[in-house]
Chain A
Amino acid sequence: MAATKDSKEQKYDRQLRLWGDHGQEALENAHVCLINATATGTEILKNLVLPGIGAFTIVDGHIVSGEDAGNNFFLSSDSIGKNRAQAATELLQELNSDVSGNFVEESPDKLLDNDPEFFHRFTIVIGVQLPESTCLRLGMVLWSASVPFLICKAYGLIGYMRLMVQEHTVIESHPDNALEDLRLDRPFDEFKSHIKSYNLSIMDKKDHSHTPWVIIVAKYLERWLSEHDGQPPKNYKEKEAFRQIIREGILKNENGGLEDEENFEEAIKNVNTALNPTKVPTSVEDLFNSEQCNNITAQSSSFWVMLRAVKEFVYNEGSGSLPVRGSIPDMIADSQKFINLQNVYREKAMQDAAAVSKHVESLLQSVGKPPESISEKDIKLFCKNSSFLRVVRCRSLAEEYSVDSINKDEISGLDCCCFRFFSYLI
């Protein structure tokens, strides 16, 4: 219904600006399980129910005590004596009618005894104030079912959180301060011919002052390279000299003073970052070298198929670089020049995405899957975010608790008389 969609857009507006429509969709398709509706547990759920998680299920065999009702906003004195899962579900459900709330009046240990597959249906399981034995048992079940497990404990003013997830891939990581992808160190052909279309020495003053700084740096860099054996400015001294050359390019007025050319000031200010070599980030290189990327099968998720396709692109059409991102930062320029420059990058990005698409197709074919299994839209999004791809992997609880993997050397190093530390059993 249009009305409902509109009102949800309004209600969720502030968070949509953070994680976008894709993020919201993922949230609304998720079903979380909370074990133990303590104050910590209900607080966690509150922060998921308010933004519109699809569904939640509380598993709790406890009866609400007076103490419970005293420190938990989602239990009242009327809840005392009732099952805690049921009581908390009522008051959490009331927060947001878009969310579906459920409860199971059972202890997790009982469920593990009788129906461990119960937990397989969840997007993530959150275990609060669970004893170690339960954590380990549940951890094993969830690990083998590839369900993420978040363990939380709160004691006085001390809090503890442990995330257990086998593999969590992120395409849209929404980075805060991303470096721009301008390719000044290795200009692609279309960019080179666009730069050629500019002749700074014959431009009138208005055009000169409204030429994007990227063009200015590119022009002066071409000159520098021809005068320095193809080597760009490398150290501080050379970069200073490069900046000075650009400064000398600023138009002078009749009295010999400098005209006010903000675009040239921008160019000078951006020299440092502009000269950053274009390279595949190490985090992405690591992904290229991983098992999942190199071994594409019919079970591989679209993330790994697309990543492999990007890797193929990097080693072929990309000549060592990722697909061009296609976006440029705002800069002093007249609208026409800016839009034209932006389009050069946008078109290159589309070209690169199309090349990646071809690799995706052949990879899918090689494992007997139809090429439509991964949409053009998804491939474009993947390419645009290729510098920011993230994969989070945590070790299992079993591994953490295993005697074989403890850091024996580090711990035994602490056992010397010059160290005095107090340990508290919590």
Chain B
Amino acid sequence: MCPFNSKWDILKPENHCFPSREKKRRRIEDLTEKMAVESGHRDGGCYWEGRWNHVRKFLERPGPFTHPDFEPSTESLQFLLETCKILVIGAGGLGCELLKNLALSGFRLIHVVDMDTIDVSNLNRQFLFRPKDVGRPKAEVAADFINRRIPGCKVVPHFKKIQDFDESFYRQFHIIVCGLDSIVARRWINGMLISLLGYEDGVLDPSSIIPLIDGGTEGFKGNARVILPGMTACIDCTLELYPPQINFPMCTIASMPRLPEHCVEYARILQWPKEQPFGDTSLDGDNPEHIQWVFERSQERAAEFHITGITYRLTQGVVKRIIPAVASTNAVIAAACATEVFKIATSAYIPLNNYLVFNDVDGLYTYTFEAERKENCTACSQVPQDLQFPPSAKLQEVLEYLTENASLQMKSPAITTTLEGKNKTLYLQSVKSIEERTRPNLCKTLKELGLSDGQEIAVADVTTPQTVLFKINFTA
């Protein structure tokens, strides 16, 4: 069943200015109103002759490649200009491109969230920023640039983390498009949109779905995907597509380095905390003095083991886990994402269903496929997750499973359960006092902790805005 049928034309009942069967009768009135639009009355003075012709060509005439349910109308453009609210998450490499593309496509009510400030290394691709902007919040500078270059566009910046907002913020958007640089953040927004879903007698209410368009890039590779929470594969359904980050084993770093990277990690992980060269401060990858210190220590270690190849660039790359980036890949992926936003907002064309891969390391390679939903996805399947452990298993083992399992990949899960009618925290890492208090539980067995067969535990983690329920089944 193609999820993209005419039901989709009705996105948000309360914002109903969107072409649908009921609005057909208004078409004749629209055509006479076109004269008024041309003279700029409806556009707040930001109109000039032919300004939106490129968008009109898509929306006001039929064509051989349009969506089967598409009907030309002048309403679609008005919807984009006046009503459709888009959230862009990230104002970096992808974000700048997305804002440009959306603004030029007629979207005007755009919000952008980014918690970062501008760094000089952003300037090779984040083209809304200039050298004088270094240090300023990305969201604010980006919004400013777009609003000036594209008259009438009203980008609203938020110099915040996505976690600083709750459902009431996210609910206002028709479509959300992400240009994030972390999987944790992706999983969080994914979880947030899933939590907004409404079910009536077990049937998903389509008006509660906010499409999520997600883009990611790394060097010459990138991907773009269309997610309809509750209907198509979500971020967690395909978590195995993102292999866990490989860290070097500690024994290699501590006693038998072989590569220059091992020497850098030694300086970063072992020497820095021990020597505290700048007082009791944590290593800041953006502080050149810090990197210089690590660079020098790395060189000393490398010399000791006859390892060559330590450079400042390599040092910084290891400390900051730098991912290479160029303008062109971001342009391609953002273009694909913005096109999907346009298609979904206007229902004019069939959207990507649902994953695009791009790679131009060698020639140019791209393909699309339909990522499938996972039956027991921890984020979107609503199925309580079953865990099997013997009663003699220690809580530590459960913790390790939650972090190491490829489909879960939690970062620092907090585990609570209900015992004798009361809520009990079994282990929590993020608050020092609670961590100390609950740490002994890690060595206790599930039986010792009072858990019984079929016990439900609730797990909270940064990878999800809502707690995940697990059921522990005892094995022999």
Chain A interface (Cβ < 8 Å from any Cβ of B):
7, 9-18, 39, 43, 46-47, 50-52, 65-67, 69-73, 76-77, 80, 95, 156-157, 173-176, 210, 330-335, 338-339, 422, 424
For chain B, the count of residues having a C-beta within 8 Å of the partner chain is 48
Write the nearest CB–CB distance from A134 to chain B, whole angstroms.
Answer: 23
**Would A13 and B313 count as touching, CB distance under 8 A?**
yes
**Would B124 and A17 count as touching, CB distance under 8 A?**
no
- Known A-B contacts A11-B121, A157-B65; A70 and B324 likewise in contact (beta carbons under 8 Å): no
Interface string of B50-62 (1 = CB under 8 A from A): 1111100110000
B434: Cβ under 8 A from any A Cβ: no
**Would B258 and A18 count as touching, CB distance under 8 A?**
no
**Complex-state Cα separation, A71 to B58, whole angstroms:** 13
- Known A-B contacts A14-B322, A67-B50, A77-B151; A50 and B256 likewise in contact (beta carbons under 8 Å): no
Within 8 A of A (CB), among B75-116: 100, 104
**Would A70 and B361 count as touching, CB distance under 8 A?**
no
**Would B121 and A80 count as touching, CB distance under 8 A?**
no
**Would B49 and A66 count as touching, CB distance under 8 A?**
yes
**Complex-state Cα separation, A65 to B49, whole angstroms:** 9
Give the 6 A-B residue pairs with the shortest CB-CB distance, closest first.
A66-B50, A70-B51, A17-B324, A67-B50, A71-B54, A338-B258
**Would A95 and B127 count as touching, CB distance under 8 A?**
yes
B219: Cβ under 8 A from any A Cβ: yes
> Which chain A residue shows the least CB distance to B93?
A14
**Would A51 and B256 count as touching, CB distance under 8 A?**
no
> Which chain A residue shows the least CB distance to B343?
A157
> Which chain A residue shows the least CB distance to B64?
A424
Question: Which residue among A7, A65, A66 has the maximum number of chain B CB atoms within 10 Å of its CB?
Answer: A66
B339: Cβ under 8 A from any A Cβ: yes
Interface string of B311-344 (1 = CB under 8 A from A): 0010011000011111110010000000100000
> Which chain A residue shows the least CB distance to B104?
A71
**Would B327 and A173 count as touching, CB distance under 8 A?**
no
**Complex-state Cα separation, A50 to B252, whole angstroms:** 40
Write the nearest CB–CB distance from A381 to chain B, whole angstroms.
Answer: 16
> Which chain B residue shows the least CB distance to A18?
B324
- Known A-B contacts A51-B124, A69-B48; A18 and B220 likewise in contact (beta carbons under 8 Å): yes
**Complex-state Cα separation, A66 to B326, whole angstroms:** 31
Neighbour of A18 across the interface among B48, B50, B326, B362, CB < 8 A: B326
Write the nearest CB–CB distance from A214 to chain B, whole angstroms.
Answer: 13
Since A47-B327, A50-B123, A66-B50 are in contact, a sample of 14 more A-B pairs with Cβ atoms closer than 8 Å, ordered by chain A residue number, is: A10-B120, A10-B121, A14-B125, A15-B125, A47-B328, A67-B51, A67-B53, A70-B104, A73-B100, A73-B150, A335-B305, A335-B306, A339-B258, A424-B64
Write the nearest CB–CB distance from B67 to chain A, whole angstroms.
Answer: 12
**Complex-state Cα separation, A43 to B127, whole angstroms:** 12
Write the nearest CB–CB distance from A77 to chain B, whole angstroms.
Answer: 5
| Residue numbers in A under 8 Å from B316 (CB-CB) | 13
B41: Cβ under 8 A from any A Cβ: no
| Residue numbers in A under 8 Å from B257 (CB-CB) | 335
**Complex-state Cα separation, A47 to B125, whole angstroms:** 8
Within 8 A of A (CB), among B121-160: 121, 123-125, 127, 149-151
**Would A156 and B63 count as touching, CB distance under 8 A?**
yes
**Complex-state Cα separation, A39 to B64, whole angstroms:** 24
**Would A43 and B121 count as touching, CB distance under 8 A?**
no
B393: Cβ under 8 A from any A Cβ: no
Question: Which residue among B123, B124, B259, B305 has the maximum number of chain A CB atoms within 10 Å of its CB?
Answer: B124
Write the nearest CB–CB distance from B34 to chain A, whole angstroms.
Answer: 16
| Residue numbers in B under 8 Å from A16 (CB-CB) | 313
- Known A-B contacts A11-B120, A47-B327; A335 and B258 likewise in contact (beta carbons under 8 Å): yes
Within 8 A of A (CB), among B225-268: 252, 256-259
- Known A-B contacts A69-B51, A335-B307; A11 and B123 likewise in contact (beta carbons under 8 Å): yes
Neighbour of B120 across the interface among A7, A69, A422, CB < 8 A: A7
**Would B256 and A14 count as touching, CB distance under 8 A?**
no
**Would A176 and B361 count as touching, CB distance under 8 A?**
yes
- Known A-B contacts A17-B324, A70-B50; A333 and B121 likewise in contact (beta carbons under 8 Å): no
- Known A-B contacts A47-B328, A73-B149, A333-B256; A12 and B54 likewise in contact (beta carbons under 8 Å): no
| Residue numbers in B under 8 Å from A332 (CB-CB) | 252
**Would B349 and A330 count as touching, CB distance under 8 A?**
no
**Would A46 and B127 count as touching, CB distance under 8 A?**
yes
| Residue numbers in B under 8 Å from A80 (CB-CB) | 48
**Complex-state Cα separation, A7 to B119, whole angstroms:** 12
**Complex-state Cα separation, A339 to B303, whole angstroms:** 12
Within 8 A of A (CB), among B255-314: 256-259, 305-307, 313
Within 8 A of A (CB), among B382-424: none
| Residue numbers in B under 8 Å from A50 (CB-CB) | 123-125, 127, 327
Write the nearest CB–CB distance from A164 to chain B, whole angstroms.
Answer: 15
Of the A-B pairs whose beta carbons lie under 8 Å apart in the complex, a sample of 27, sorted by A's number, is A11-B123, A11-B124, A17-B324, A18-B219, A18-B326, A39-B104, A47-B331, A52-B124, A66-B49, A66-B51, A66-B53, A70-B51, A72-B104, A73-B100, A73-B149, A73-B150, A76-B149, A156-B65, A157-B339, A157-B349, A175-B362, A330-B259, A335-B256, A335-B257, A335-B258, A339-B305, A424-B64
**Would B325 and A15 count as touching, CB distance under 8 A?**
yes
**Would B306 and A339 count as touching, CB distance under 8 A?**
yes
| Residue numbers in B under 8 Å from A210 (CB-CB) | 256
**Complex-state Cα separation, A5 to B149, whole angstroms:** 31
**Complex-state Cα separation, A73 to B146, whole angstroms:** 9
> Which chain A residue shows the least CB distance to B257?
A335
Write the nearest CB–CB distance from A259 to chain B, whole angstroms.
Answer: 15
| Residue numbers in A under 8 Å from B252 (CB-CB) | 332
| Residue numbers in B under 8 Å from A157 (CB-CB) | 65, 339, 349
**Complex-state Cα separation, A12 to B121, whole angstroms:** 6
Write the nearest CB–CB distance from A344 to chain B, whole angstroms.
Answer: 14
| Residue numbers in A under 8 Å from B326 (CB-CB) | 14-15, 18, 47, 51
**Would A17 and B258 count as touching, CB distance under 8 A?**
no
**Would A15 and B151 count as touching, CB distance under 8 A?**
no
> Which chain A residue shows the least CB distance to B53?
A67
**Complex-state Cα separation, A424 to B51, whole angstroms:** 27
**Complex-state Cα separation, A285 to B168, whole angstroms:** 64
Within 8 A of A (CB), among B326-370: 326-328, 331, 339, 349, 361-362
> Which chain A residue shows the least CB distance to B119?
A10
Write the nearest CB–CB distance from B110 to chain A, whole angstroms.
Answer: 15
Write the nearest CB–CB distance from B134 to chain A, whole angstroms.
Answer: 10
**Complex-state Cα separation, A67 to B104, whole angstroms:** 11
**Complex-state Cα separation, A46 to B96, whole angstroms:** 13
Interface string of B32-47 (1 = CB under 8 A from A): 0000000000000000
> Which chain A residue shows the least CB distance to B258?
A338
| Residue numbers in A under 8 Å from B339 (CB-CB) | 157
**Complex-state Cα separation, A411 to B305, whole angstroms:** 65
| Residue numbers in B under 8 Å from A69 (CB-CB) | 48, 51
**Complex-state Cα separation, A47 to B366, whole angstroms:** 19
**Would A156 and B125 count as touching, CB distance under 8 A?**
no
Write the nearest CB–CB distance from A234 to chain B, whole angstroms.
Answer: 31
> Which chain A residue shows the least CB distance to B306?
A339
| Residue numbers in A under 8 Å from B323 (CB-CB) | 14
